[in-house]
Structure 1
């Protein structure tokens, strides 16, 4: 059919299309005429191709109209890429809400929400399998929590309860969440369960398959191939799989008639999207629950200040166990400072760099036939040394480079420190700050720790987990498992003991969330240990007077979250306020702020340097760290929407001007500095 012979569709011939363009000032809808031969396929939610500024671009058809308010001539819809309606009305509303919340564009959010198309997969048809009428629920499991049975009953009644669930130590959290999903699925509704990583995803998928049936569950993750990922996403869209388990992007899964959304371990930084507009899965889940009225659960062994704010404001209810139950389930936890005085005179304990209590706990667990988990802050060998007296970094007298121990240290763990820059051994070290002559490791990595423990516990198998070799599970038995934080494998029946080393390295990070993150890491490891009634012990090498250490010893993450929230309210940081971080070159930031109509309550903080380790990517390249600044903009929570709108409009103005220089805008970033 030639262009002159084209006829428009008889009914609602105007297609309102959102082109998926990468520029902020074109984040708006455009009208196109629908040819009659595309009348059947051109339905709201389908992918289309349209001509824009002389070239064909991808777009999403949002709705069909009888007429357009555009006074000029309309272009024709070029083609419908697929008749599959990939954007549902509910997800469209969610995309709009996320873009507004994060000062981003809908095109960027849609790229996160809808995976790339795979044509062959779309042609596959799967018949839905009838759901079980009665879900299998362990009533005793939820009865351990105050108001736990009431929460389950509310789900069964089809209501939308919201809760912050504090999972007990040693809890089979996968089964508990699978039971909630089963309750919702048995009523013909959908459930979306979001976890931080692949290990948690695999465990939760297995639990859901056992409780509900494997034909009703799909797992979504970025690591899947294009066809597998799209096949599972379509199963969620078409309703053949009622339960979706996945990593952060799966929070957008288009499950029909959503009844429950869950985010597990919301303090994990993996749940924060590293691509524009940088939404956090927890915030997307809350927006989705608010928009649909579905049930929502934010869960974990520890608790973030953001989750506590949901409880304090009344948006969600507390789902916690009584203190007696917590004490019965928790291992015995001991805290002690990492000092020379705390090290035992036992040569084995000193070689293993373990205080006497930690060494005794490990020896006792191994003698009882149980495993011992050793958590260290990083993998590898000792990266650097410090003065044992004042903890000033040890530097080379010749070139001022950092000193480190060689990997082949002696049997007592000692050896001549060597400069990492010039390679010269420092045989007669003296601290430049205090004159001390004794060195200590600033952070000892997993490989070095495993080597030292192997010498201290002769004949005991030593396994490592971390870096590129993370173990999800390890067989039970008397063995030492040295793991970096976040890579602790599960042992059937639980570990007999856990040793949490170098606690000061986690607590001493220059980060707003350092204390919260340290407690989360410690609790994640400690929950893998048997209860104290079965001999389970945890030794954390940190000062017992620190509130975060006290929260671990008492197993009271709620108290810790409340204190963190109060501290942030006092100094004016999220979640007590809304904070925008604007990163870029000084001139670019200045231009953005010049055109932004910020709320009257806005307070500018900075410029400040980027948090350590962060870089600003732009156009496939990166600016050097010394070229990038960060400006923080703080407003009361009531003005958060106005702040996001002002920054989004300012980005659109810079885009229309074709201003050079990258600018990144993040609302309530995970890392502030």
Structure 2
């Protein structure tokens, strides 16, 4: 179709005899490209929800979901032979499946024009029968047997939901030393053996439990993680549409990609910041997956060592079921954790980067030919100010996050990185001290110091998942956040003898409301890699550290929620980050939009807090349209990743 003289490519999402604009403005289609039916009504319903929920556009959501079209791959697909779902047939039409039975669906008119009869685009317009459980009579009489790993877990309801998808959501959290890969294989096997398909979404290409799924199902899997060419992505996508594969594994883009007969959606490490989309609409994979499950009747499984604030909110609201082992089993399948309080040590022992007791334990492991992981804060991980006298962190008056000096300010200024509150330098509210120091650390320098102290050990410095680790023993690996993955290649399937958490106070002191949550999740993921954990800290009573000592992720959220509730931060409320906010735009938001607006700062960044997210996003929509017409470039990010 031509707009302003230029030929534009779009998608036909409906047909109607009554245009919404004047007939003189209706433009003819230049041509229809290809015979492939790209998506069905279920997909369109999910994409509309994503666009509305995350303050974006439907075209943007579709662009996230679909790979670029490659014509030669379509020609190649014509020679692939019979398909369970022919590419030129409407999604949901009656076709013969692999068992010889007919699968009935909607007519072609219903497929091309969903929700047009009543003019609604809400997910609630989906027919209620579409979310009903699939009957076992449609597939095999009995589901596959579960593996031994389920014995210590209260997972009977989840196993049943994998066999008979019903749109419910679960958070699967096995003990730290139990591999989740075989559990995911069991769930996918149950879903696919009953005639449905599965999506397994991972945050990145690093080795992990999704590898077990790919190995178990072989040619029945479309693995999108390592595609470098658009042709490969489009080829895999067409095989999904045809029903040639029953499992798809991939990263963020897979969450919205069409998948016929979808029965299971797995999101591995649901709190990983990589799941936050960078383009409009800036949706989060976790929320998109939960919505897709509700709308299509697919079972949704989330995994993480510590629930995100949003998942904790869903759990508290009864919208999600936690699948875990009892406390005795969790403690039995977890490392020993010991905290060393720096404040109780002699000045000589606490001046070193690794305090005396930890230095002695590292030397002992090295002497016995073992492996040590030192989890350090990377460059830039800590920038908050702390008091030089009492070492307590300076905090924002409005939101409780850390504050840091503003570079280049005409007068000395401290600013909160979360809500943009600013203040001149001030004394410590705990001891009155006026001297400060930045909470910073460097992993590379620590690795150099350890190499000098332990010449018999191979010392490696790892800042990313794909960096090689030590190849000989004894070994010391100084790792930062990016290198903590479920299955580090250099450990060869074994656990390290010792994990040292070197900079917990730096991570807890970051100018970020989510600092404690993020730090605890990192420590738990690191603890899964070791037999023993030692932590050096000046804040041993910090709730996040106490949750690590007890290996009790569930015990973290009650106190953290109590701390965040007066501030209106998740899980008590929701956040919307806005950039490019002018004084006039800020005034309009304060006048017409429910919530509390913090800012904007001199850079035009503002934070909107609300406990009625749906109403707030709806109220922002007409303002966003007005700003767009006036060429005011205000960008809206719902549920921002502040980390």
Q: How does 1:489-568 map to 2 (within 5 A)?
A: 490=488, 491=491, 492-530=493-531, 536-541=532-537, 543-568=539-564
Comparing both structures, which one devotes a greater share of its residues to strand?
1
Aligned partner of 1:358 in structure 2 is: 358
| TM-superposed deviation, 1:378 | 0.5
| TM-superposed deviation, 1:205 | 3.9
| TM-superposed deviation, 1:171 | 2.1
| TM-superposed deviation, 1:368 | 3.8
Match of 2:52 among 96, 100, 119: 100
Q: How does 1:465-484 map to 2 (within 5 A)?
A: 465-466=462-463, 470-471=466-467, 477-484=473-480
Distance 1:630 1:350 in 2: 41
Indicate the SS of the match to 1:94: helix
1:306 and 2:258 are equivalent in the alignment: no
Distance 2:242 2:536 in 1: 49
| TM-superposed deviation, 1:564 | 2.5
1:628 and 2:599 are equivalent in the alignment: no
| TM-superposed deviation, 1:585 | 3.7
Distance 2:256 2:642 in 1: 23
| TM-superposed deviation, 1:567 | 3.2
1:644 and 2:640 are equivalent in the alignment: no
Equivalent pairs counted in the alignment come to 548
| TM-superposed deviation, 1:221 | 4.3
Aligned partner of 1:118 in structure 2 is: 70
Match of 2:285 among 274, 278, 281: 281
Deviations 1:313-333 (A, max 9, x none): 111111111111111111111
Aligned partner of 2:149 in structure 1 is: 141
Deviations 1:425-447 (A, max 9, x none): xxxxxxxx9799xx998433121
Aligned partner of 2:200 in structure 1 is: 193
Match of 1:80 among 20, 29, 32: 32
Aligned partner of 2:171 in structure 1 is: 164
- Whether contact under 8 Å (2:597, 2:607) holds in the other structure is yes
Aligned partner of 1:607 in structure 2 is: 599
Deviates more, 1:440-449 or 1:186-195: 440-449
Distance 1:457 1:172 in 2: 32
Indicate the SS of the match to 2:23: coil
- Whether contact under 8 Å (2:469, 2:477) holds in the other structure is no
What CA RMSD, in Å, does the superposition of the two structures yield over aligned residues? 3.5
Deviates more, 1:286-295 or 1:136-145: 136-145
| TM-superposed deviation, 1:160 | 3.9
Deviates more, 1:112-121 or 1:512-521: 112-121
1:664 and 2:635 are equivalent in the alignment: yes
Unaligned runs of 5+ in 2: 85-97, 100-138, 395-403, 413-431
Match of 1:251 among 214, 236, 255: 255
Distance 1:160 1:651 in 2: 33
1:572 and 2:573 are equivalent in the alignment: no
Report the CA distance shift for 1:106/1:158 in structure 2 as closer, same or farther (over 3 A).
closer
Distance 1:217 1:164 in 2: 24
Deviates more, 1:110-119 or 1:170-179: 170-179
Match of 1:203 among 199, 208, 211: 208
Report the CA distance shift for 1:561/1:228 in structure 2 as closer, same or farther (over 3 A).
farther
Report the CA distance shift for 1:141/1:472 in structure 2 as closer, same or farther (over 3 A).
farther
Distance 2:215 2:641 in 1: 35
Deviates more, 1:172-181 or 1:439-448: 439-448
Aligned partner of 1:20 in structure 2 is: none
Indicate the SS of the match to 1:117: coil
Deviations 1:197-226 (A, max 9, x none): 221xx4344211232x22111222497322
Distance 1:446 1:137 in 2: 46
Indicate the SS of the match to 1:334: strand
Q: How does 1:214-363 map to 2 (within 5 A)?
A: 214-221=218-225, 224-338=228-342, 341=345, 353-363=353-363
Aligned partner of 2:120 in structure 1 is: none
Deviations 1:22-70 (A, max 9, x none): xxxxxxxxxxxxxxxxxxxxxxxxxxxx123433211101134467576
Distance 1:387 1:593 in 2: 37
Distance 1:591 1:216 in 2: 55
Indicate the SS of the match to 1:163: strand
Indicate the SS of the match to 2:303: strand
- Whether contact under 8 Å (1:204, 1:245) holds in the other structure is no
| TM-superposed deviation, 1:257 | 1.3
| TM-superposed deviation, 1:117 | 1.5
Aligned partner of 2:418 in structure 1 is: none
Deviates more, 1:644-653 or 1:65-74: 65-74
| TM-superposed deviation, 1:592 | 5.3
Deviations 1:147-202 (A, max 9, x none): x1332133223444421122311221223223212211121211112222221xx4
The structure with the larger Rg is 1
- Whether contact under 8 Å (2:439, 2:509) holds in the other structure is no
TM-score (norm 1): 0.74
TM-score (norm 2): 0.77
| TM-superposed deviation, 1:364 | 3.2
Report the CA distance shift for 1:541/1:516 in structure 2 as closer, same or farther (over 3 A).
same
Indicate the SS of the match to 2:301: strand
Distance 2:327 2:266 in 1: 25
Distance 1:473 1:354 in 2: 21
Aligned partner of 2:184 in structure 1 is: 177
Indicate the SS of the match to 2:636: strand
Aligned partner of 1:153 in structure 2 is: 160
Aligned partner of 1:14 in structure 2 is: none
Distance 1:507 1:570 in 2: 20
Report the CA distance shift for 1:382/1:513 in structure 2 as closer, same or farther (over 3 A).
closer
1:56 and 2:7 are equivalent in the alignment: yes
Deviations 1:226-258 (A, max 9, x none): 222222222323222221222222111211111
Deviations 1:404-445 (A, max 9, x none): xxxxxxxxxxxxxxxxxxxxxxxxxxxxx9799xx9984331
